[in-house]
Amino acid sequence: MTATSPQVIESKVPIKSYSSCVGGRTRVKDIIGVQDQGESWIGQTVTVCGWVKTARNQKGDDGLMMFVEISDGSMLQGIQAVVFENCVGYSKAQSQLGTGASVKIVAEIVRSPAAKQVVELAVRADNSTHKIEVLGSVNSSEYPLAKKQHSREFLREIAHLRPRSNLIGAVARVRSSLAACVHDFFQHRGFLYVHTPIITAADCEGAGEMFQVSTIMAKAEKEGKSLVVDPKTGKFDYESDFFAKPSFLTVSGQLSVENYACALSDVYTFGPTFRAENSHTSRHLAEFWMIEPEIAFADIHDDMNCIEDFLKFSVQWALDKNMDDLQFFDERVEKGLINRLRAVLDGPFAKVSYTEAIEILIRDMKDKKVKFENTKVFWGMDLDSEHERYITEKVFNKPTFVYNYPKEIKAFYMRLNEDGKTVAATDCLAPGIGEVVGGSQREERLDILDARITESGLNVEDYGFYRDLRKYGSVPHAGFGVGFERLIMYITGVENIRDVIPFPRFPGHAEF
């Protein structure tokens, strides 16, 4: 083995559940989530813990039995337990068991006579090691997750319990899997993971819609004083504030991670970002996660290649590792989802310049092939979601890069093209959702960067560190940002961004 050919050693350590408090346990996924759906487990005695999905009594040849479906969250499907009368814990279970209760079951895995499952748990009365134990009972009349279909609006009101629903449980598993996918993609391509600050004094996007971080109000309230205002400027005196200057929650880690790209070449950051945008749409949150790689010695074309590779890798990852949940989404959320995802892997993405895209929209409107709500389509406008979806769903019918946007509608850090009117920016649009990824080649020329900062109404002095990167060994570089929640929406088909993040934050809502 040489230094240029690293050896990847895969771990063979068996998965442990770390559940000694209940005498150890076996996850449902490890029993029925395998290729033979549990057949190789038949005859073994296991301990399974989880929450009751359904419970019913039935009279059989062997006396009274309870049929209990248990879910431990490890997979969409639960496992059925047949609890025979007079087994250990039977009487207590009869009186306390209901939907939502937590249980521990020690039972034998047996072949199931039911058509929809290969195996089930048998809790027998003639085996002293078998038992059913109620760990946490439920008052069925008060439990909010009844055995019915709940609206997603209602589920958001009980965010502490909604992971027990099939929809949110499936989203959570896909989200966790895709987080691992992000790191796997970049780590195996030589990128370094950089933790960028959440608190910043710079406005990356120049939009000004940022949450301020301050102790001034709390301090003034505690001391019974009014807020101190500088009489000369009419602004707050930040000298007494925690950071002694206006500070905010970051809207992006990009400016910070560029520092490391200009020293370590290929880097990425992946963390929470915040926007104080008073938006109530199904595509916006106040707190969300961003994946932001930065590539040194690269241009806009390298950027688009990396975006395409990342999206295809993410789709393939989900198809390989989350098929059970994707099948649920295909059945309950978006018919044809799996076929749509597989189509992403077929052939290269389409590419069209912004100017060409505008010409296509104007032409098709004139030919009456399409009618938009926003009928004013012109060069220089920011594309609406309906325009983006038309381009990707009707014109090209595949993920599509739109690139070289007018400089007026893009951020100051994007590289000015030779025409002086457009910047080397790209948005990757996808069928069903519109924009998924936004990226650009960064402006590496100091004089042009300064002019763009000023044009954007920002203070050049606030970007000293960013300007230094252009003064000391500047290099061409590019990067992009992927809203993690939008990626999850794209892969699951879930249409509201509030349903793909564990605890959604949006105007007027910061519960839990």
Q: What residue ranges in 72-178 does DSSP mark as E strands?
A: 79-84, 102-111, 119-123, 131-136
CATH superfamily for domain 164-210+251-499: Bira Bifunctional Protein; Domain 2 (3.30.930.10)
Sign (positive or negative) of CA dihedral 319, 322, 326, 329 = negative
- For helices 166-187 and 323-332, angle between their N-to-C axes, nearest 10 degrees: 130
Better-scored residue on pLDDT, 292 or 208: 292
Structure tokens at 257: 């991670």
250 alpha-carbon distance from chain centroid: 18
Fill in the amino acid letter for 244. A
**Which tokens sit at 358?**
């505008």
The residue among 251, 171, 204, 275 whose CA lies nearest residue 506 is 275
β-sheet with 422-430: strand ranges across? 192-193, 266-274, 287-296, 477-483, 434-441, 422-430, 400-406, 350-353
Higher per-residue confidence, 182 vs 209: 182
Q: Which long-range contacts (CB under 8 A, 24 or more apart) does 243-247 make?
A: 243/199, 243/201, 243/213, 245/201, 246/201, 246/212, 246/214, 247/199, 247/200, 247/201, 247/212, 247/213, 247/214
First-residue to last-residue Cα distance in the chain: 51
pLDDT at site 114: 84
- What span, in angstroms and rounded, lies between the C-alpha atoms of 446 and 469? 9
Model pLDDT for residues 18-51, shown as the tens digit of each residue:
887 777 899 999 999 999 999 999 999 999 999 9
Round to whole Å and give the CA distance between 98 and 53. Answer: 8
Average pLDDT over residues 201-206: 60
Domain edges within the chain = 20-143, 164-210+251-499, 215-243
Per CATH, the architecture of 20-143 is what? Beta Barrel (2.40)
Q: How many residues does the chain have?
A: 512
Q: In whole angstroms, what is the distance from residue 267 CA to residue 191 CA?
A: 5
User: 284 and 269 in contact (C-beta within 8 Å)?
Assistant: no
- 312 pLDDT band, cuts 50/70/90, is very high
Which structure tokens are listed for 385?
């979601």
pTM equals 0.91
Average confidence (pLDDT) over 141-159: 87
pLDDT (0 to 100) of residue 4: 43
Greater confidence (116 vs 237) lies with 116
Distance, CA of 169 to CA of 175 (rounded, Å): 10
Q: Identify the pLDDT of residue 45.
A: 96
Please state which of the ranges 29-38, 138-147, 154-163 shows the lowest mean pLDDT: 138-147
The residue behind tokens 């309230």 is 221
List, in order, residues 6 or more apart from 320 with CB less than 8 Å away: none
Q: What is the pLDDT of residue 241?
A: 86
pLDDT at 10 > cutoff 50: no
The answer to whether the beta carbons of residues 465 and 259 sit under 8 Å apart is yes
The phi and psi torsions of 139 (rounded to 5 degrees) equal -85, 105
